[in-house]
């Protein structure tokens, strides 16, 4: 009798295994993602970023609340997924970071150098770069701000505009850069991101010409890198890829970096933005 009851218990416990396996796996992965998201330290950066957006800083003692990220002064909701885009006041295509530089200069009175200093936070990365990027445990205002701005577009569709000629020009330049091979290893973005099924160690590399891969890649930056204990932005992603290709250093917020991001944004068009994400 007792054995029967135990058996019945075991059988009941096993029942879920007989349910359609595929669906269960997907559900479990979804649950795992949610668990990871709940423990994502990117939230700490977002909270700081929101504070920084509202706090008065710089020689003009002003906040960034009048900053125009493309949807009008002060509109942050949905701004990130519609970047990079053309801005008439600067007459150039800008991404989130370069636009923040513009706002820090125009609204808060920082010099261009001050606004661009320390674009990436903390430790880990800047093994080879000189001071502006380095400093162990150093926080980056830029990274915090971008984390918050990106988080305000979570769940929305990636939709960088392509109507202005300069936006199309940036896309074309980005495409050229993507396929451009050079340096001591004759490397280019396309070496790693132009073919299906490539990986570095165990990290699968997205093929950027495949919309699904591009959407997933673009939609998960900025991301918190567990291995580095830092939040990393899209500008950093470009900078780091270029460094790994042994190219000359990609200047932060430069036209080249924005062109690459514009190209990727277009390739990822229509994907769901799900950042700041958490990465290995």
Residues designated catalytic: 241
Residues 6+ apart with CB under 8 A from 175: 263
Examine residue 165 and tell whether it contacts other proteins (CB under 8 A).
Answer: no
Q: At its nearest, how many Å lie between other proteins and the CB of residue 43?
A: 5
Interface with other proteins (CB under 8 A), residue total 17
Q: Is 55 in the site for other proteins (CB under 8 A)?
A: no
Per-residue mark of binding to other proteins, 210-229 (x: CB under 8 A)? ----------------x--x
Contact by Cβ (8 Å): 206, 214: yes
Q: How far apart are CA 241 and CA 244, in angstroms?
A: 5
CA dist., res. 124 & res. 187, Å (int): 23
Angstrom distances, CA of residue 72 to CA of 61, 79, 83, 277: 21, 9, 13, 26
Q: Name the token pair of 140.
A: 């980056």
Over the window 122 to 141, marking each residue x when it contacts other proteins by CB under 8 A and - when it does not, the resulting string is: -x--xx------xxxx----
Part of the chain binding other proteins (CB under 8 A), chosen from 33-41, 213-221, 245-253, 259-267: 33-41
Minimal distance in Å, beta carbon 42 to other proteins? 9
Find the Cα–Cα–Cα–Cα dihedral 222, 225, 231, 233, rounded to 10°: -30
Quick one: 48 or 193, whose CB is closer to other proteins? 48
38 binds other proteins (CB under 8 A): yes
Shortest spacing between CB 142 and other proteins, in angstroms:
17
What is the DSSP track for 85-98?
EEETTTTEEE-HHH
**What token pair was written down for 250?**
């990609």
Is residue 52 part of the contact set for other proteins (CB under 8 A)? no
Tell the smallest beta-carbon distance from residue 151 to other proteins (Å).
13
Q: Interface with other proteins by CB under 8 A: which residues?
A: 38-41, 43-44, 47-48, 123, 126-127, 134-137, 226, 229
């Amino acid at each position: 009798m007792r054995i029967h009851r135990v058996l019945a218990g075991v059988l009941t416990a096993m029942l879920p295994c007989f349910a359609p396996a595929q669906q269960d796996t997907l559900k479990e992965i979804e649950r795992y993602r949610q668990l990871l998201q709940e423990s994502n330290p990117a939230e700490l950066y977002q909270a700081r970023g929101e504070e920084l957006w509202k706090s008065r800083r710089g020689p003009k003692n002003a906040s960034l609340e009048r900053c125009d990220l493309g949807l009008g002064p002060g509109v942050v909701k949905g701004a990130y997924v519609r970047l990079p885009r053309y801005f008439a006041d600067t007459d150039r295509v800008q991404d989130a970071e370069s636009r923040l530089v513009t706002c820090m200069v125009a609204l808060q009175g920082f010099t261009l150098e001050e606004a661009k200093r320390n674009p990436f936070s903390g430790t880990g990365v800047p093994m080879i770069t000189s001071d502006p990027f380095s400093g162990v445990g150093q926080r980056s205002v830029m990274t915090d701000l971008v984390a918050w701005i990106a988080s305000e577009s979570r769940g929305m569709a990636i939709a960088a505009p392509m109507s202005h000629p300069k936006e199309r020009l940036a896309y074309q330049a980005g495409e050229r850069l993507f396929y451009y091979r050079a340096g001591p290893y004759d490397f280019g973005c396309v070496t790693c991101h132009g073919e299906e099924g490539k990986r570095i160690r165990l990290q699968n590399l997205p093929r950027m010409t495949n919309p699904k891969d591009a959407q997933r890649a673009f939609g998960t930056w900025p991301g918190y890198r567990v291995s580095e204990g830092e939040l990393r932005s899209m500008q950093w992603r470009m900078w780091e890829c270029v460094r790994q290709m042994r190219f000359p250093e990609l200047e932060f917020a430069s036209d080249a970096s924005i062109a690459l991001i514009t190209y990727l944004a277009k390739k990822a068009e229509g994907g769901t933005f799900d950042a700041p994400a958490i990465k290995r």
